[in-house]
Chains A and B, each alone.
Chain A
Amino acid sequence: MRERAQDGPGLEHWESLPRRVVTVYLPLAVFLFVLLFPFYWMAITTFKPNAELYDYRTYSPFWVVHPTLAHIKKLLFDTSYPSWLWNTVLVSVSSTFMSLAASVLAAYAIERLRFRGSRYVGMGIFLAYLVPPSILFIPLAAMVFNLGLFDTRLALILTYPTFLVPFCTWLLMGYFRTIPYELEECALIDGATRFQVLWKIVLPLAVPGLISAGIFAFTLSWNEFIYALTFVSSSEVKTVPVGVITELVEGDVYHWGSLMAGALLGSLPVAILYSFFVEHYVSGLTGAVKE
C-alpha cells in the first residue's frame, strides 16, 4: 500500500477527493481506532463500578451504565499518587534535559568535528544497549548504593541517561548529517567558533530532531520500571508506574478500576503537553530553510 506515496504540500490540489478518502482518510481512521481503542477501554474501566466490570451478560463491556468516580477517588486520595506524578515529571524532565545536552554535544563532535577516533566512539556508545536492564540493574544497584544515592530521585536522574544518551546521540547524528555542510563552512570562514556554529546554525535547523529526541527521551524515562522499582523504596519517592503497581495490586487482587485510572491520569497530562510541542515543530518547518 505504500505505493500511494505522499504528495508534498502544494501538490495536493491535484488529487481528487475520492482518492484522498481511500488513500488517506480511511487508513487514518483505522489507525486511529486501533491506536485509541485501548484508551477507550482504560477510560471505560476507570469509570465502571466493579459490579459491571465482570458481568458481560448483563452489561455491555463497551458502555458504562452507572459511571462512578470511586476508582479515581481511590487513586488520588488513598494513595500517594500526586507525589508519584510529581516525581515522575521531575525525573523525566531532568534526565531528558541532561541527556539532550550531552547528546547534542556528542553528536556534533562525532558527526562534524571528526576528531581522531570519532567513528569508534560513535559505535562504542551503543555498548550501552548490549546488556538489557533486566540484568544490568543489579550491578547498577550496587553503584547506586555505593554512591549513597539509594532511595532518591537523583539515582534515577543519573542512571536514566545511560539508556537515553546513546539513542539521542545517534538520532541527532542522523539529523546533523542532513544539514548541508556549506552553511557551517561559510560561518567558520567568517570567523565563528565551533560553538557558535552549533548554537546559531546547526541547532535551529535540527529542531525537529531535537524535539523527536526529547519526546522519546522523556517518554522512555516516564515508562521506565525496573530501575525505579529497584533503586527506590519509600512511597513518596516512587514514580507512577512503580507506585501504581505496588499500591493497587494486593496479592492476587487487582484493583482494575484504579489501575486504569492511574494509566489514564498518568498519560493525559503528558499528552496535552506534547500537543504543544508538536505544534512547535510543525510551525517551525514551513518554508524549509535549506533552499
Chain B
Amino acid sequence: MPKITRREFVKTTTVAAAGVAVASALPRRADAADLSYKPEKGAKLRLLRWKRFVAGDEEQWMANTKKFTEKTGVEVRVDNEGWEDVRPKAAVAANVGSGPDIILGWFDDPHQYPDKLVDVSELAGYIGKKYGGWYDVCQRYGTRDGKWIALPLGVIGNLMVHRISHVKAAGFDGIPKDLPGFLKLCQALKAKGTPAGLALGHAVGDGNDWVHWLVWSHGAKLVDEKGNVAINSPETVAALEYAQQLYQTFIPGTLSWLDPHNNKAFLDGQCSLTNNGISIYYAAKTSPEPKLKEMADDIGHGNWPIGVSGKPTNFMQVTQAMVFKYSKFPNAAKEYLRFMWEWDQMDSWMQKSIGYVTGPYKAQEKSAVWTVDPKHTPFRDVTGTLLDNGYAYKLGAASAAAMADAILIDMVAEAASGQQTPKAAAERAEKRAQRYYKI
C-alpha cells in the first residue's frame, strides 16, 4: 500500500531474494542521481570476506552477488575466512601487493595501510547522501585525512545478554542504566546463584568490547587528544577498582575466556549475564531442544550502562570493505560495492543476518529486521553509542598495535584478579602503550 510521506517521492521496495517480501517507505531526495561506475572490460572480482556468523548472511550475500553478476556480467568470486584470520590475509595482501580486489576487514585495518587502498570518497559521499548519512563512528573508521579509504559495512552489535527471569529475581527490572546500579545487579545475581561473566582472556571481540566500555565510562582513556598516553590517571584507577568488585561477582574461569566461552556458559545456564552479540539468542531460538527454546524466550538484550560523562561510550566490532590499489578492476569493485550497499541488497542482507549486523548508514533503522522480533530491536541503535579504538586520538598503526597487544584487556585482568594493584596495572599499561604512541 503506498504511503504518502512528507516528501514528494514514495517508494515501495520489494525484496526479491528468498521469498522475503517487505514493504517499506524510504524517503528519497528527488535530485539524487544514481551514481554508477562502469566496470572494466572483462572484469572479474575477488572478494575476501569473513565467514558468516549465520547461514542466512552467506546465502543472501551470495544471492545479492549473483544479482550483480547478472546485471553487469562481472563475475565475483567470494572467499571466506574466519573473522580473525582475514586480518593476516589482508596484511599479506597489503604487503605483497597482490591478492583479493576487495577485503572485508575490521576496526582500523585500513588505517594501517591507507596508501594501498583506493579512494572511495565519491562512492561514500553518494551513499551517505542517499541513505540519511553515515554514523559518526563509521565515518571515523572509514576516513583518513578527509578521504574515505574504506566503506563501512556495519557493526556487529554487542549488548548485555541476560536472563530476564534471573534479573527480575535479583530485584531488577532490566539492566540498570548507571554504573553503580550495574554493579549492584551483578552482586545480586551472584547472591542468587545466577552469576554474570565477562571475558578477561584474550577475547578479541567480547573482551575488547567490555574493557573499552569500562575504561571510557569512567572517564578514562588510553590516549588524549594530542596523542599522549593518558591511561595512568585517577579515572583509570577508579575503573579498575570497579572491575575488581565486578570480578568478585563473576563465574570462575573468566580469565581464560576467549570469545566462544561465554556462549557456552550462558547456553548451559551457568552464566546469566554476559556481553555478546545476538549469537546466543539465535543459538537458543533455533535449537531443536525444548529447554533451549524456552531459554530463548527468557533472553533479553540490555543496553550498556552509561558512565560519568552521561553519554554512552561503547565499543563494538566495526567491519568495512577495502578496495586495494593493486586491483586491476577498481571500477568494477566500486560498482560492486555500490550495488551491495544499495537498499535492496543491504536491507535484504541485514534481514537474513537476523540482526547480527547493524547497518552503517542511518536509513538502516527502517529495516524490518529490527521489528520482526522485539528482541532484535535493541541492536538497531547501537552504532550511535560507539567510540572508536583510537579514542581520543586518531586511528592508525599505533591504535591497531595497542589493541592487538591487548593492553587494556591485560590491565583490567591484572587488576581484577588481584595480580597487580590498580595503580600498578595502570602504570604497566602506560608503559606498554608508550612503546606504540611515541610521538
Asked if A and B bind, the verdict is yes
Using CB atoms and an 8 Å cutoff, list the residues of chain A in contact with chain B.
50-51, 54-55, 137-138, 141-142, 145, 150, 229-230, 233-235, 245-247, 249-254
Residues of A within 8 A of B291 (CB): 51
Are B82 and A245 neighbours in the complex by a CB distance under 8 Å?
Answer: yes
Residues of A within 8 A of B283 (CB): 253
Q: What 8 new A-B contacts, CB under 8 Å, besides A233-B81, A253-B53?
A: A51-B291, A54-B268, A55-B268, A138-B95, A145-B97, A251-B51, A251-B156, A252-B259
Are B83 and A251 neighbours in the complex by a CB distance under 8 Å?
Answer: yes
Are A235 and B80 neighbours in the complex by a CB distance under 8 Å?
Answer: yes
Chain B proximity of A36: nearest CB distance (Å): 25
The 3 nearest A-B residue pairs measured at CB: A251-B53, A252-B259, A54-B268
Are B279 and A252 neighbours in the complex by a CB distance under 8 Å?
Answer: yes
Are A246 and B85 neighbours in the complex by a CB distance under 8 Å?
Answer: yes
Provide a sorted-by-A list of 11 A–B residue pairs whose CB atoms are within 8 angstroms.
A51-B289, A141-B95, A145-B96, A145-B99, A150-B99, A229-B85, A233-B48, A234-B79, A250-B54, A251-B53, A251-B277
Q: Which of B10-18, B86-94, B368-376 contacts A (4 or more CB under 8 A)?
A: B86-94
Q: How large is the interface on B (under 10, 10 to 19, 20 to 34, 35 or more residues)?
A: 35 or more
Chain B proximity of A288: nearest CB distance (Å): 50
The residue in chain B whose Cβ has the minimal distance to the Cβ of A51 is B289
Question: Beyond A50-B287, A50-B289, A233-B79, is A250–B260 a contact (Cβ under 8 Å)?
Answer: no
Residues of B within 8 A of A250 (CB): 51-54
Residues of A within 8 A of B268 (CB): 54-55
Residue among A50, A137, A138, A251 with the highest chain B CB neighbour number at 10 A = A251
Chain A proximity of B324: nearest CB distance (Å): 13
- B276-297 CB contact bits vs A (8 Å, 1 = yes)? 1101000100011101000000
Residues of A within 8 A of B85 (CB): 229, 245-246
Using CB atoms and an 8 Å cutoff, list the residues of chain B in contact with chain A.
46, 48, 51-54, 77, 79-83, 85, 88-89, 91-92, 95-100, 156, 205-206, 259-260, 263-264, 267-268, 276-277, 279, 283, 287-289, 291, 356
Residues of B within 8 A of A51 (CB): 288-289, 291
The residue in chain B whose Cβ has the minimal distance to the Cβ of A70 is B288
Chain B proximity of A185: nearest CB distance (Å): 52
The residue in chain B whose Cβ has the minimal distance to the Cβ of A150 is B98
Residues of B within 8 A of A254 (CB): 260
Are A253 and B100 neighbours in the complex by a CB distance under 8 Å?
Answer: no
Main secondary structure of the interface of A (DSSP, over half): helix
Are B88 and A54 neighbours in the complex by a CB distance under 8 Å?
Answer: no
Are A138 and B91 neighbours in the complex by a CB distance under 8 Å?
Answer: yes
Chain B proximity of A101: nearest CB distance (Å): 30
Chain A proximity of B192: nearest CB distance (Å): 18
Residues of B within 8 A of A55 (CB): 268
The residue in chain A whose Cβ has the minimal distance to the Cβ of B77 is A234
Residue among B85, B96, B99 with the highest chain A CB neighbour number at 10 A = B96
Are B205 and A252 neighbours in the complex by a CB distance under 8 Å?
Answer: yes
Residues of B within 8 A of A141 (CB): 92, 95-96
Q: How far is the CA of A50 from the CA of B96 in the complex (A)?
A: 43
Q: How far is the CA of A144 from the CA of B190 in the complex (A)?
A: 54
Residues of A within 8 A of B267 (CB): 54
The residue in chain A whose Cβ has the minimal distance to the Cβ of B81 is A246
Question: Beyond A50-B287, A51-B289, A54-B264, is A138–B277 a contact (Cβ under 8 Å)?
Answer: no
Residues of A within 8 A of B53 (CB): 250-253
The residue in chain A whose Cβ has the minimal distance to the Cβ of B265 is A54
The residue in chain A whose Cβ has the minimal distance to the Cβ of B95 is A138
Residues of B within 8 A of A247 (CB): 51
Chain B proximity of A242: nearest CB distance (Å): 9
Chain B proximity of A18: nearest CB distance (Å): 45
Q: How far is the CA of A254 from the CA of B92 in the complex (A)?
A: 26
Are B276 and A252 neighbours in the complex by a CB distance under 8 Å?
Answer: yes
Q: How far is the CA of A249 from the CA of B46 in the complex (A)?
A: 22
Q: How far is the CA of A230 from the CA of B92 in the complex (A)?
A: 8
Q: How far is the CA of A234 from the CA of B206 in the complex (A)?
A: 29
Q: How far is the CA of A253 from the CA of B83 in the complex (A)?
A: 12
Residue among A51, A229, A234, A250 with the highest chain B CB neighbour number at 10 A = A250
Chain A proximity of B141: nearest CB distance (Å): 20
Chain B proximity of A237: nearest CB distance (Å): 10
The residue in chain A whose Cβ has the minimal distance to the Cβ of B268 is A54
Task: From B46, B48, B88, B279, give the contact of A251 (CB < 8 A).
Answer: B279
Question: Beyond A54-B268, A230-B92, is A249–B100 a contact (Cβ under 8 Å)?
Answer: no
Chain B proximity of A132: nearest CB distance (Å): 14
Question: Beyond A54-B267, A55-B268, A254-B260, is A249–B82 a contact (Cβ under 8 Å)?
Answer: yes
Residues of A within 8 A of B156 (CB): 251
